[in-house]
C-alpha cells in the first residue's frame, strides 16, 4: 500500500514539469462542461426571479459538487478493483490536474514576453486569458499590474487551496474544492446574468478559501526573502492591507505580493464595461514594470513548494492518531 502523501507529491511534480495537459482529457474542463449544461437546464426549470435564481444556484452547487466528487470516487474505486497500482496512478493524475502552478507561470510569462517585446496589443490579449477584467484599454503598467494580481491571487486558488484540501481529504476533497472554485469563476459574478444564480457558489467559495488565502499570505511573506524580494515589506503591507478588498480572501495574497515587490496593486478596474472603484493595496514606492511579473512568478514557485511541505506536515499531524502517516 502506497503512503497517502505520495500521489500528492507526484501530482505536484508532474504539474511543475508539464503544466496543463492540453492533449488529454482534463477533469476541470469536464467540470466546466457540467456547470454550463446544468445551468442551462436549471434556467429552464426555475423561474427567472431573484428567489428562483438563488434556489437554482444552490441546486447548481449541490449537483456539480456531488457529481464531481462521486465521479472521482467512482473512478478511483474502479481503478482499485483492477489493481492497487492503477489506483495509485489514477490518484497521481488527478492530483496533477487539480494543481495549476506551472500553467499560471506559463500564461503570465506570455504577458511578460509580449510587454518585453513592446507588443501592447498582444500583451492585452494574453492577460485577458487569465483575468476577468476588461483589458482593451489597459496601458503597459495596467497590463503588468493585472498579471501580477492574478499570479498572487491564483497562488492561493490554484495551488495552495488544492494542496490543502487534497492533504485533508484526498483527491475527493481536492475535487470538491476545485468544483466550487470553478463554479465561482464561471457564475460568481455580480452582473445582471449571475447576480442571484451565482450567489451560492460565490459564498461557498469564500468559505472554502478563508484558510488557504491566509495561509498563502503568510507563506508569501516567509518566502519573499528566499527569492530576493522584501520580506519586511511583505509583512508590513500584509498586516495593513490584507482586508482591503470586497472579497474576504483576495487581498491576503495580493497584499503580501505587493509588499514583497514594493509596488501598488488593485485600484479601479473595469468589468463588463462597468468601472469598479476598488481600494489600492501596497505602497506606490515605484512604478510597476513588466519584470514584476517574473518576480511574482518566482514568489509563486517558492510559495508553492512551501505550501506542499506545510500541507504534508499538516496531513501527517492529523493522521498520526489514526496510525496512517
Instruction: Locate the domains of the chain by residue range.
Output: 6-322
What pLDDT score does 176 carry? 98
Pair 152, 257: CB distance under 8 Å: yes
What distance in Å separates the CA atoms of residue 233 and residue 319, rounded to the nearest whole number?
36
**CA 280 – CA 283 distance, rounded (Å):** 9
Kindly state the average pLDDT of the residues 294-298: 98
What confidence score (pLDDT) does residue 133 get?
Answer: 87
Assess whether pLDDT exceeds 70 at residue 320.
no
* pLDDT at residue 94 greater than cutoff 90: yes
Vertex 179 angle, CA 303 and 92, to 5° = 60
pLDDT for 240 equals: 97
Residue whose cell numbers read 493595496: 281
Structure confidence at residue 263 (pLDDT): 98
What tens digit of pLDDT does each residue of 75-90 get? 999 999 999 999 999 9
- Residues in Cβ contact with 161 at an 8 Å cutoff, skipping those fewer than 6 apart: 177, 181, 208, 209, 212, 213
Mean pLDDT for the stretch of residues 150-177 = 97
Total-model pTM: 0.95
Q: What is the pLDDT, as a whole number, of residue 2?
A: 84
pLDDT on residue 60: 98
- Answer for the pair 180, 210: CB distance below 8 angstroms, yes or no: no
pLDDT in tens, 48-78: 999 999 999 999 999 999 999 999 999 999 9
- Cβ distance 264 to 288 under 8 Å? yes
pLDDT at 100 over 70: yes
The pLDDT confidence band at residue 189, using thresholds 50, 70 and 90, is confident
Residues 11-40 have pLDDT tens digits of 999 999 998 877 778 899 999 999 999 999
Whether the pLDDT of residue 323 is over 70: the answer is no
19 conformational bin, left if phi > 0, alpha if psi -120 to 50, beta if neither: left
Judged by average pLDDT, the poorest of 116-130, 241-255, 270-284, 304-318 is: 270-284
Confidence at residue 132, expressed as pLDDT on a 0 to 100 scale: 84
Give the torsion sign (CA, 318, 175, 125, 254): negative
Return the pLDDT at 44: 97
pLDDT of residue 324: 60
Residue with cell 474544492: 177
For cell 503570465, the residue is 108
3-state helix, strand, coil in the chain (%, to 5): 70, 5, 25
pLDDT score at 272: 73
Choose among 111, 156, 157, 162: nearest CA to 138. 111
pLDDT > 70: percent of the chain: 98
Q: What 3-state class would DSSP assign to 264? A: strand
Q: What is the DSSP string of 216-245?
A: HHHHHHHHGGGGTS-HHHHHHHHHHHTT-S
Mean pLDDT of the chain: 94
Amino acid at each position: 500500500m502506497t503512503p497517502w502523501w505520495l500521489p500528492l507529491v507526484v501530482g505536484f511534480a508532474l504539474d511543475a514539469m508539464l503544466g496543463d495537459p492540453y492533449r488529454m482529457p482534463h477533469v476541470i474542463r469536464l467540470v466546466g462542461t457540467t456547470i454550463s449544461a446544468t445551468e442551462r437546464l436549471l434556467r429552464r426549470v426555475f423561474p427567472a426571479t431573484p428567489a428562483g435564481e438563488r434556489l437554482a444556484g444552490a441546486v447548481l452547487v449541490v449537483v456539480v459538487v456531488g457529481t464531481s466528487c462521486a465521479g472521482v470516487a467512482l473512478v478511483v474505486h474502479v481503478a482499485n478493483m483492477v489493481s492497487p497500482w492503477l489506483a495509485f496512478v489514477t490518484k497521481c493524475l488527478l492530483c496533477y490536474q487539480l494543481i495549476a502552478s506551472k500553467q499560471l507561470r506559463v500564461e503570465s510569462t506570455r504577458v511578460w514576453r509580449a510587454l518585453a517585446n513592446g507588443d501592447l496589443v498582444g500583451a492585452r490579449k494574453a492577460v485577458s486569458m487569465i483575468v476577468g477584467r476588461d483589458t482593451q484599454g489597459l496601458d503597459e503598467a495596467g497590463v503588468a499590474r493585472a498579471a501580477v494580481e492574478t499570479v498572487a491571487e491564483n497562488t492561493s486558488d490554484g495551488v495552495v487551496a488544492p494542496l490543502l484540501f487534497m492533504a485533508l481529504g484526498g483527491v475527493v476533497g481536492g475535487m470538491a474544492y476545485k468544483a466550487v472554485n470553478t463554479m465561482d469563476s464561471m457564475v460568481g459574478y455580480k452582473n445582471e446574468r449571475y447576480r442571484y444564480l451565482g450567489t451560492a457558489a460565490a459564498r461557498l467559495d469564500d468559505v472554502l478559501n478563508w484558510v488557504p488565502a491566509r495561509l498563502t499570505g503568510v507563506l508569501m511573506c516567509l518566502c519573499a526573502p528566499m527569492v530576493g524580494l522584501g520580506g519586511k515589506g511583505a509583512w508590513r503591507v500584509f498586516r495593513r492591507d490584507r482586508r482591503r478588498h470586497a472579497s474576504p480572501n483576495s487581498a491576503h495574497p495580493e497584499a503580501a505580493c505587493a509588499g514583497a515587490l514594493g509596488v501598488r496593486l488593485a485600484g479601479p478596474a473595469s468589468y463588463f464595461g462597468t468601472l469598479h472603484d476598488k481600494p489600492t493595496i501596497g505602497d506606490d514606492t515605484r512604478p510597476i514594470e513588466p519584470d514584476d511579473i517574473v518576480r511574482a512568478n518566482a514568489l509563486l514557485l517558492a510559495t508553492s513548494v512551501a505550501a506542499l511541505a506545510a500541507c504534508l506536515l499538516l496531513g501527517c499531524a492529523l493522521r498520526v492518531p489514526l496510525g496512517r502517516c
